[in-house]
Structure 1
Amino acid sequence: MPKIFYVLLLGALFLNFNALTAQNNSTTIIGKVVEDNGMPIEFATVLIANSSDQKPIAGTTTLEDGGFSLETTASNFYIEVSFIGFTKKTIENPTIVDGKIDLGTVTLSEDSQQLDEVVVEGQVSQTVFKLDKRVFNVGADLSSTGASALEVLNNVPSVNVSIEGAISLRGSQGVQMLINGKPSVIANEQGNALGTLTADMIDRIEVITNPSAKYDAEGTSGIINIVLKKDEKKGLNGSVTLNTGVPNNHSLGLSLNRRTEKFNLFSQVGFGRRTFPSDNETENRNLLDNSYVSSIGQSDKNETFFNLILGTDYHINDLNVLTLSGNFAYEWEKENSNADYSTFDSSNSLTDSFHRNELTTATNPKYSYELQYKKDFEGNEDQSLLLSATGNLFAKDQSSDYNNVTSFGDDEDALQQTRTDFKQAEYTFKADYTHPWAEKYTIETGAQYQINDVANDFAISDFINGSFVENADFTNVFEWVQKVLGVYSTAAYEGDKWGIKLGVRFEDTDVGTLLQNTNTRNDQHYSNFFPSGHTSYKVSDDFSLQAGYSKRIFRPRLWDLNPFLNIRNFNNRRTGNPDLLPEFTDSYEITSIFKVGKTSMNLGVFYRHTEDAVERVVDIIVENDTQISISKPINVGTDNTTGIEFNAKYLPNNWLSFTNDINYNQFVREGNYEGTAFDFTGDQWSTRLTSKIKLPANFDIELTGNYQSGYRTLQSEISDNIFMDFGARKKILKGKAILNLSIRDVFASRISESITTTNNTYLRDFSKRGRFITFGVSFGFGKGEAMEFSGQKHF
């Protein structure tokens, strides 16, 4: 035993001596890695390799401030510093002083060639199926261009963004926009912030044309969910954008983001001025005696706007995040409108005419806020609890002055005034819980309570005996309150090739309206179940199928219910209907995705059956021997719509791409109104072809051609449309700055025209907006990318 003890003791002393000797011969390497602009680079790789065989010896990554420290006992080595997108730097034969190598500040420069190679190698935007949605993964072909979220959306199959920034899905507006699966001040249609998101910030866009029970049953157009990247850039990042355009489209936007380990502070401020000109024509013809009234005019709506977003994410710990954000916007509106009205008798002779001038001013304050708490669960990254409360408040204080000057005939000149005091508040409280188990199964459950409270005070005053007197027949004080409680549950199985998701949603609705002028109340209460079912099957890597069903509802809004008469064109008036009932739609669809060579395609068919379908119907009245057309919405019966959708993207090489969307639908309407049958059939189709060309010197060009066919409604024929958009973009300063030129409606060919015909009247409405040209400069600083602040208006 003593011999064994001494042997072990000597061995331990020998090993300890070797360790001490090695430690004395070790070398410590320190330094800091930064960009050309001096900003630190986090997670850069620092590698020590053998000079003889280039094999790695040791390595580390840089910290938040770009600093690093590591040790080695090797004597023959070199040091290599690298980071994705930057030129690698190698230090041969470094000098050792007192067992330490101090590299000081190591500066890495961006490698534009390497970045280009990343784009070429296949980060191409593509669409894939999930159980109840299509997912458009944003690749480098978009993110490398510095495109805004609006432009990215315009590249998503089935989605279209209009000149004014209005978003439609399969040709239908009223799309519900979400950010990271929930309503957000950024996606609020009353704001201007969506254009501040860039493709670099977007991970994917989920298109839900047939939403499951998890989502609101409201609306038939579907849902678009923008999922942002989990950006880990720390420090101060930001971007500034300056836009100018014809007609007036001038804006300045500044975005700032400060990220630390616990907090992510974000803000965006923008202000500017924009103009929306329009040429307008109407013709109201009495088919019984062939007399008619025509009007020809122009208008320009000018808006000066200010927009501010502030928010923070507070990471309580790795599993709990608290988010608070708010949006304040303010608009000053001024609109000038001029029109010449002429009345002709049955022999086409002018009987009287007058010139109508309108000046409208308005102020629109807007407030939005969001408080959200998200809890993840340890051991399962897909299990989560989300609680949120959002609020949106909007007000409009508007007044209009009308001056009618007789140019022919015996009518006297007339002055009129209108005023509008409008207030809208919307509050939403949500709770969502997701629980996956056994890897392939998931249960979702949750609840939502939404309150809409709207009041509109409108009055018309006539100038009589030297002063303005309110016209009691047109004064309107209308209140609308809607409360909806929803509860849902879904269960899903998703395997490698096949999956299914079933769910049901229950919604209880309370609606109340009050017309204060007559103290007329109209209250409705209804409760409904909304089932849903979705399935998908992956036949191969190049071919997948998806099928889905959901029940939807369209609830009438304020302007659908308010018996308000718009006098802007006194001969053609629009009003609401307080007795209007909601629409209920059963929606079915089957969709496929398949790839052939360099072409990816999406083919789908859908069918929608709607009960209590809403349609605007024109009634004719006579006032002072003048024929007046009044349109209002009514429930006319059932509507059956069958459609086909085809999307294709072709990438012949890395500098050219073509994308084509084709939508066709046929509808059959069966119904009656006041004893008159309103059965009719019609169809509608549209197509969009986009070509993108990458030129040398970081130039990108985009051409988009659009065609929307004419179609008919219950009483009207809507004219077709053909127009083209153009865009050009150039990156400068190694991508830190972007120059952007866009021309919407290049040939000024986009119009809005409807012709309504009844047994004894013919009504034509026509308007044209014209060409919009915008030039923008964006610059990113810190670790921020160059962004675009669009300044677009969302109607």
Structure 2
Amino acid sequence: MKKIKIAVLLVLFFTSFYNYAQQTPGRNKVKVTGKVFEKVSKQPLEYATISIMAPNDTKVIAGGITNPKGEFEIAVAPGTYDIKIEFISFKSTEIKQKSIEDDTNLGIVNLSEDAAQLNEVVVRAEKSSVEIKLDKKVYNVGQDMMVKGGTVSDVLDNVPSVSVDTEGNVSLRGSDNIRILIDGRPSNAINVAEALRQLPADAIDKVEVITNPSARYDAEGGSGLINIILKKGKNQGFNGTFIASTGLPETYGLSANLNYKTEKLNYFTTAGYNYRTNEGGGKTNSEYFNEDGTTKSFLDEDRDTKRIRDGFNARGGVEWSITPTTFWTNAINYQNNTGEDKDVINYNNYDAARVFTGSTYRLNNGDTSSENIEYTSNLIKNFNDKGHKLTADLSVSRNTDDSNSVIVADPVNTTLNNQVQKQILFQADYVLPLGEGSQFEAGYKGSFGDLNNEYLITDLINGQNVKNTNLSNNLEYKENINALYAQYGFKVNKFSYLFGLRWEDTNIEVNLLDTNDFNTKKYNNLFPSAFISYEISDQSNFNVSYSKRLSRPRGRFMNPATNFSSNINIFQGNPDLDPSLTDKYDIGYIKRWTKVTFSTSAYFEDTKDVFSFVRTPTGRFENGIPVILSRPINLGKEQKFGFEFTFNYNPYKWWRLNSNFNFYNVQTAGENSYVDASTGETVIQNLDNKANSWFARISSKVTLPYKIDWQLTGMYNGEQKTAQGKNLGQFGMNTSLSKDVLKDKGTIAFNISDVFNSRIMKSYTYLENQTSYSEMQFRKRQFNLSFTYRFNKAKSDRDKNGAPKNEGGNDGGGEFPG
């Protein structure tokens, strides 16, 4: 009952404070301030509760909670009070008979962990799974049963403003032009989508969505950042979580999250094994035309896919409290994955009258393997308890990604694609408070990497494998980036300001070794940012922001290797792509009530040299069918304007609703030219386009009888017009049931992904001599059953900030002033 009382005090505090204020209109209020820290690490405790009561009375007169810096400020009428400071699993502190006649600073209150509670499994009211802050949305993963036994991709697909398509590609506000960080650092994986599907959901503490980043962040990611923060346990002693899962199509998983903490050292580790089967499929129905516009023929292309992934990942590290003000964290991350891909394509040909004329097929059997290893080190020196600190981060990684396949067609092809990527990252950040409500930050970041990609295609001719020199290549990609930034934030009355400037110098080499084609791209840019917020009241804020962002072409965008899975619809990267620059503007408003949190924003993005995919004929034919090439180009410019709404409602203790809606308009302008292989003439494609689209998600969590939790989430992506066709709307629904067992030490969860098997990408493409309708489903409906077991750990334990706020990387910088 004690823990339940603590959880509901937030509501009672405001109610009691309001009533008391109404009863004493003639008395002026004074401020009670202070800070709450963890005694051992001397780090701030966020969400600690402060209760102010009449002497020897349990009735709460006023109260509040601490902010991320451990600070609190409470208004109360002058008088003598008892003051109580509490935090879950910590010993509470009481200050008896405190006389408060003027503004009073209680100083630093240190709380110690309560050893008697560490082995107790505590069930308390949960914090809302979505926290809306001024500069970001924070999604607390541990509270969402929808992702139990799942992966990071499943987590992101439940986060406001974020969506994950059927191929695992992540987008933010409808744009895939984003940067994904893990513990504040860019993901070093070659295939980011696949890496996210390998990392278990239980390894994640929370996800931060930052739609308009400040100068302290990398300029990379035109539409914003997603920061995935991994768990690091803080309970004294040995504690952890085990999760076992199974599902259909055939899926197995086992993961463990363990932690051992002493006074000076905190050891943490996460390890997981998973075996996944993804069954999918698709089709492309095309109609071909003669030069006079009459129908020439039809081709129906049916695809059936099956992908198997067998993966192991592990992460281990230690955090050392060298002194009460100095912390050093070292960790090693390791991933090893293998897989099998089977792709069967049947081609059915028809004449102009839709009369069947023949069929062929294409079988692609492939194997994949990847190994990623990364060492990270993070050092933090706190000069005082007011936020004056210096941090340094180092990351060294090596990633390999190999794949090979045999394509049974005419002729038989063999493909080999081997990639090796090495990267070193160093970052230093300095934070200096300059007085009440003001702060200066500065830092440096260096990122140095190189990627070598060997792509080989051979054709079986007269019993011999002969290298296809037209499609094979060796790519060498080197990227060196140096960055400096500075920003200053301050508060004047109810206004808070943050102004920053970032400078990045980029040196990129894209070398095609087979053809001796060497390309060097050097550029440096300034990236200003500005944020202004106005505190209308304790429950509402208004803010405006601006930042300049950059998007560098990477990976498959730059690699000229041809994706040969279909011999008539092929994809090829473009090593001559230039970066795109985006000016971002955002106006936001937040309002909080007792049971409701409402957030809305209007945003505008103006992008130059935007990346766009174009489809052009190659002049080649396969069995009389023209071969179409899809590739990225720098189109011209794009302007995007949109509105976003987030609505969280807790009508009852047993029911919670979270919803997110995003509507946007996109206008692109540009053209593409290519040489018609049959006539030798230059063809100009006008790619100007105007389109509207929208995205909606709503999630409901209900506690049923017998303490069974039921969660239901539905999402819809609206139709969107493209320069060469349109993408149709897409609906999906997930559901989950969860029940605590073994005196709440265990949890059984059952979930269904894509209940109606409806998450299918559907599109129309209109070219000069061809129209096509396509469907693609990467993963069909999936059933999953998982069991979670916790020992020496509460069901809803959150990070008690016993370690530095930015451990594991300082792309989070300091807090927004005020």
Look up the equivalent residue of 2:792 and give its one-letter code. Answer: G
**Closer, same or farther: CA 765–85 of 1 in aligned 2, 3 Å:** same
1:129 maps onto 2:142 in alignment: no
Partner of 2:401: 396
Partner of 1:627: 626
Partner SS state of residue 290, structure 1: strand
Partner of 1:653: 652
Partner SS state of residue 348, structure 1: coil
Look up the equivalent residue of 2:741 and give its one-letter code. Answer: I
Deviation at 1:193, TM superposition (A): 3.4
Deviation at 1:502, TM superposition (A): 0.4
Alignment of 1:40-439 (within 5 A): 118-119=124-125, 123-125=127-129, 127-130=131-134, 133-136=135-138, 138=140, 156-160=159-163, 167-173=170-176, 175-178=178-181, 181-182=184-185, 190=195, 192-193=198-199, 195-197=201-203, 205-225=207-227, 232-288=234-290, 289-378=295-384, 380-404=385-409, 413-439=410-436
Partner SS state of residue 638, structure 1: strand
Deviation at 1:716, TM superposition (A): 2.7
Deviation at 1:697, TM superposition (A): 2.4
C-alpha RMSD of matched pairs (Å) = 3.2
**Closer, same or farther: CA 343–694 of 1 in aligned 2, 3 Å:** same
Partner of 1:776: 786
2:748 and 2:776 map into 1 onto residues whose CA distance is 32
**Aligned match for 2:551, one of 544, 550, 554:** 554
1:778 and 1:787 in contact (8 A); partners too: no
Look up the equivalent residue of 1:744 and give its one-letter code. Answer: S
**Closer, same or farther: CA 340–208 of 1 in aligned 2, 3 Å:** same
Partner SS state of residue 196, structure 1: helix
* Greater radius of gyration (CA): 1
1:239 and 1:785 in contact (8 A); partners too: no
1:148 and 1:197 in contact (8 A); partners too: no
2:210 and 2:761 map into 1 onto residues whose CA distance is 28
Look up the equivalent residue of 1:779 and give its one-letter code. Answer: Y
Partner of 2:670: 671
1:147 and 1:242 map into 2 onto residues whose CA distance is 7
Partner SS state of residue 563, structure 2: coil
Deviation at 1:430, TM superposition (A): 0.7
Partner of 1:756: 765
Partner SS state of residue 723, structure 2: coil
**Closer, same or farther: CA 393–456 of 1 in aligned 2, 3 Å:** same
Q: Number of aligned pairs?
A: 672
Partner of 1:712: 721
Between 1:170-179 and 1:735-744, the stretch displaced more is 170-179
Between 1:669-678 and 1:543-552, the stretch displaced more is 669-678
Partner of 1:497: 494
2:278 and 2:780 in contact (8 A); partners too: no
1:129 and 1:546 in contact (8 A); partners too: no
Between 1:450-459 and 1:222-231, the stretch displaced more is 222-231
**Closer, same or farther: CA 588–266 of 1 in aligned 2, 3 Å:** same
1:414 and 1:181 map into 2 onto residues whose CA distance is 48
2:442 and 2:544 map into 1 onto residues whose CA distance is 22
Partner SS state of residue 125, structure 2: helix
**Closer, same or farther: CA 166–242 of 1 in aligned 2, 3 Å:** farther
Partner SS state of residue 299, structure 2: strand
Look up the equivalent residue of 1:627 and give its one-letter code. Answer: P
Deviation at 1:85, TM superposition (A): 7.6
2:149 and 2:785 in contact (8 A); partners too: no
Look up the equivalent residue of 2:610 and give its one-letter code. Answer: A
1:349 and 1:143 map into 2 onto residues whose CA distance is 52
2:470 and 2:270 map into 1 onto residues whose CA distance is 46
Partner SS state of residue 578, structure 1: coil
**Closer, same or farther: CA 615–455 of 1 in aligned 2, 3 Å:** same
**Closer, same or farther: CA 681–168 of 1 in aligned 2, 3 Å:** closer
Partner SS state of residue 735, structure 1: coil
2:354 and 2:158 map into 1 onto residues whose CA distance is 50
Deviation string for 1:570-623 (max 9, x for gaps)? 100111112211111100010101135632211110000011111111111332
**Closer, same or farther: CA 163–227 of 1 in aligned 2, 3 Å:** same
Deviation at 1:419, TM superposition (A): 1.0
Deviation at 1:698, TM superposition (A): 2.4
Look up the equivalent residue of 2:658 and give its one-letter code. Answer: T
**Closer, same or farther: CA 430–370 of 1 in aligned 2, 3 Å:** same
1:438 and 1:563 map into 2 onto residues whose CA distance is 54
TM-score computed with the length of structure 2 as normaliser? 0.77
1:229 and 1:466 map into 2 onto residues whose CA distance is 55
Deviation at 1:294, TM superposition (A): 2.3
Deviation at 1:507, TM superposition (A): 0.7
1:298 and 1:339 in contact (8 A); partners too: yes
Partner of 1:26: none
**Closer, same or farther: CA 433–107 of 1 in aligned 2, 3 Å:** closer
1:688 and 1:722 map into 2 onto residues whose CA distance is 10
**Closer, same or farther: CA 341–166 of 1 in aligned 2, 3 Å:** closer
2:177 and 2:551 in contact (8 A); partners too: no
Deviation at 1:240, TM superposition (A): 1.5
1:641 and 1:560 map into 2 onto residues whose CA distance is 22
**Closer, same or farther: CA 164–641 of 1 in aligned 2, 3 Å:** closer
Partner of 2:522: 525
Look up the equivalent residue of 1:555 and give its one-letter code. Answer: R
2:149 and 2:243 in contact (8 A); partners too: no
2:469 and 2:609 map into 1 onto residues whose CA distance is 33
Deviation at 1:425, TM superposition (A): 2.1
Partner SS state of residue 119, structure 1: coil
Partner SS state of residue 291, structure 1: strand
Between 1:510-519 and 1:221-230, the stretch displaced more is 221-230
2:500 and 2:528 in contact (8 A); partners too: yes
Deviation at 1:494, TM superposition (A): 3.2
Look up the equivalent residue of 1:488 and give its one-letter code. Answer: Y
**Closer, same or farther: CA 451–285 of 1 in aligned 2, 3 Å:** farther
**Aligned match for 1:746, one of 755, 763, 772:** 755
Deviation at 1:351, TM superposition (A): 3.5
Unaligned 5+ segments in structure 2 are: 1-56, 59-85, 93-114, 674-683, 799-818
**Closer, same or farther: CA 483–228 of 1 in aligned 2, 3 Å:** closer
2:411 and 2:736 map into 1 onto residues whose CA distance is 47
Partner of 2:534: 537
Look up the equivalent residue of 2:395 and give its one-letter code. Answer: T
2:118 and 2:793 in contact (8 A); partners too: no
Deviation string for 1:323-343 (max 9, x for gaps)? 111111111111112121123
1:197 and 1:787 in contact (8 A); partners too: no
2:757 and 2:781 in contact (8 A); partners too: yes
Alignment of 1:607-622 (within 5 A): 607-622=604-619
Identical-pair percentage:
29
1:731 maps onto 2:740 in alignment: yes
2:149 and 2:253 in contact (8 A); partners too: no
Partner of 2:23: none
Deviation at 1:414, TM superposition (A): 3.4
1:375 and 1:235 map into 2 onto residues whose CA distance is 25
Deviation string for 1:228-283 (max 9, x for gaps)? 78854122112211110011220111222111112111122211210111112123
2:760 and 2:161 map into 1 onto residues whose CA distance is 21
1:233 and 1:111 map into 2 onto residues whose CA distance is 12
1:513 and 1:137 map into 2 onto residues whose CA distance is 38
